[in-house]
Amino acid sequence: MRGQTESGTPFEPVYGPAALNGFDPATALGEPGEFPYTRGVYPTMYTARGWTMRQYAGFGTAAESNARYLELIGHGTTGLSVAFDLPTQMGMDSDAPLAGGEVGKVGVAIDSIEDMRTLFAGIPLGEVSTSMTINAPAAVLLLLYTLVAEEQGVDLSALTGTIQNDILKEYIARGTYIYPPGPSLRLVSDTFAWCREHTPRWNTISISGYHMAEAGATPAQEVAFTLADGIAYVEAALAAGLTVDDVGPRLSFFFVSRTTLLEEVAKFRAARRIWATIMTERFGAKDPKSAMLRFHTQTAGVQLTAQQPEVNLVRVTVQALAAVLGGTQSLHTNSFDEAIALPTATSARLALRTQQVLAYETDVTATVDPFAGSYVVESLTDDLQAEIERLMGEVADRGGAVAAIEEGYQKSEIERSAYDVTRGVDSGERVVVGVNRYQLAEEEPYEPLRVDPAIEAEQTGRLARLRAERDQSAVAAGLAAVSAAAAGTDNVLVPLRSALAARATVGEVCDALRAVWGTHQPTERF
C-alpha cells in the first residue's frame, strides 16, 4: 500500500476519529459559503448552479478556431477557452523570423484586430464567458477582445471571462515570458486598474498552479507556489495605489486535477482555507469576495499517455470527478488524444460529454461538499495545509515570490519532484497503465489532427495586406504613445488600446514595450 501522498505527507491505510485529533467537523468546518470557505465559496454550490463547462480550443487560423467554437457551443459548452499559438504567446507576429514552423500549431494565430474579429464572428460576446490562456501579452489580447466586443455593440461592463495574465509562473515553470519581472508586474497592475474601470465583471488574472503541476510540482508545491505568487500580485496592486478590495474580488486561480482523487479534493479545500486567511489577516480584506478562492480546473495533461490513448478517457473522468468533488467553479476536460496531437472534433466532444455525464447523470451535484467530515479527507486537508504553509514559508524566507524566482528556488524544487516521478515510473514503483504495466504488444493505429503548414503563408499574407492598407502614420503615433507610457508612469493599456484600434499588430505593440523594458534572462539554480 502507498505510505504517503503525492505531496509526501502520510497516507494511512485506515482513518478514524483519532486521525482528526479532536477536530469536530460538525462545529469546526463552518458552512459552505462562509469563511474560511473550506466547504466551498458559495452556500449552494452545484445544487443551484453548475460549474462552467469550458473546452480549451484553438488551432490554425482564426476562421478554423471559430468553426470549432461554434461547434462546441452547439454541443453545450457554457464557456469558451482560447488557446493561442506560441508566436502569439511570445508577442510575435506570424511573419517574425522566430515564428517559423510554429504558426497555428499549439493554438490559434492572432496578429491583429482582424484575426480577433474573425475568431469571434457569430459569437455574442455579451452572452458568452471567454477565458484566454495568455500571459506576457495578456493585456494586448484582452484589449483586442474589448475592441471586437464594442464592434458588436456590447457594453464592456457586460463582458465576463478571464485572462490568465500570470507572468510569475512563466518564470517558474513554463517559459513564455517576455519582459523582466518588474515591468511585467507593472503591466499586470495596469491591467487590474484598467479592468476595474472598464470591465468590472472580468477576472483580471488566473493565478496558475496548473503549469507548475505539469512541470512536475507536487500538489503541495502547486498550491504553495501559486498562493505565494498571489501574494506578490496583491502587493504589486497595493504598491500601484489600488486597495485589496479593489482587486481581490476579481482574482481567480487555476489548478490541475490529478487521478489521486482524495488528495486532490483535500488540496482544493486546503487552498481555499489558506487563501481566505491570507486575504483577511495579512491584507485586511473587508469584502467577503476578496477572501474567496475561486478557481478553474483542468484535468492533468501530463498524466495522459500516447500508449493506449483510449485509457485516457478513464483518467480524465476520475480527474474531472476530483475537481467537482473539490468544488471547482469551472472545468476543462482534456481530450483523450492530447498526448498525441491537437484534439479532433470527436475527441473534444467526448471530453465535453464527460462533464455533462458528471453533471446530469450522477448525484455528485445533489449535495454541497460531499466529503465534509470524511476522516481521510479532513485529515489529508490538515496535512496538506501544513505542508503548503511550510513551503510558503520557504518562499517568504527568500524575500517573496519574485526574489525566490530570481534565485531559481521554485523551478529547482519542481524539477526535483519531476525527477522523482520519472524515476518512479522507470523503476516500475509508480504504475502507469499501458506504459510500464499492461502494455500491448502492438499499439493500434490512430490518425491525429494535423495543422496545415500552409497556414503560416496565409497568415503572412494577411499581415502584408494589413500593413499595406492601414494608416501608417496613425500606427506610428500609437506605437510612440505606447513607448512613452512604458517609459513613464501612465497606464500602458490606454495607448495600447489606441494603437491596436489603429491596426497595429500584436508583435508591433509588444516590440514597443520590449524596446523600453527589455527582455527577461533566466537564472539557473543548481
**pLDDT at residue 27 in the model:** 62
Give, for all 526 residues of the chain, the pLDDT tens digit. Answer: 468 999 999 999 999 887 777 666 656 688 999 999 999 999 999 999 999 998 877 888 999 999 999 998 998 888 888 999 999 999 999 999 999 999 999 899 999 999 999 999 999 999 999 999 999 999 999 999 999 999 999 999 999 999 999 999 999 998 999 999 999 999 999 999 999 999 999 999 999 999 999 999 999 999 999 999 999 999 999 999 999 999 999 999 999 999 999 999 999 999 999 999 999 999 999 999 999 999 999 999 999 999 999 999 999 999 999 999 999 999 999 999 999 988 888 999 999 999 999 999 999 999 999 999 899 999 999 999 999 999 999 999 999 999 999 999 999 999 999 999 999 999 999 999 999 999 999 888 888 777 788 889 999 999 999 999 999 999 999 999 999 999 999 999 999 999 999 999 999 999 999 999 999 987 665 4
What is each CA distance from 172 to 80, 166, 212, in whole angstroms? 27, 11, 7
One CATH from 3.20.20.240, 3.90.220.20, 3.60.15.10, 3.40.50.720 for 17-51+136-427: 3.20.20.240
Kindly report the backbone phi and psi dihedral angles of residue 252, in degrees, each rounded to the nearest multiple of 5, phi listed first: -135, 165
Residues 6+ apart with CB under 8 A from 127: none
Cis status, amide bond into 36, omega within 30 of 0: yes
Q: List, in sequence order, every residue forming a beta bridge with 331; answer none if it has no partner.
A: 53, 297
The answer to whether the beta carbons of residues 411 and 525 sit under 8 Å apart is: yes
Long-range contacts of 19-24 (CB under 8 A, 24+ apart): 19/375, 19/376, 19/378, 19/379, 20/375, 20/378, 20/379, 23/378, 23/382
pTM: 0.92
Pairing of strands 129-133, 161-163: parallel
Strand partners, 133: 83
Write out the E strands in 343-448: none
Q: Is 371 helix (H, G, I), strand (E, B) or coil?
A: coil
According to DSSP, the β-strands at 202-203 and 330-332 are unpaired
Can you give the residue ranges of every domain in the chain?
17-51+136-427
Q: All 3 cell numbers of residue 304?
A: 495522459
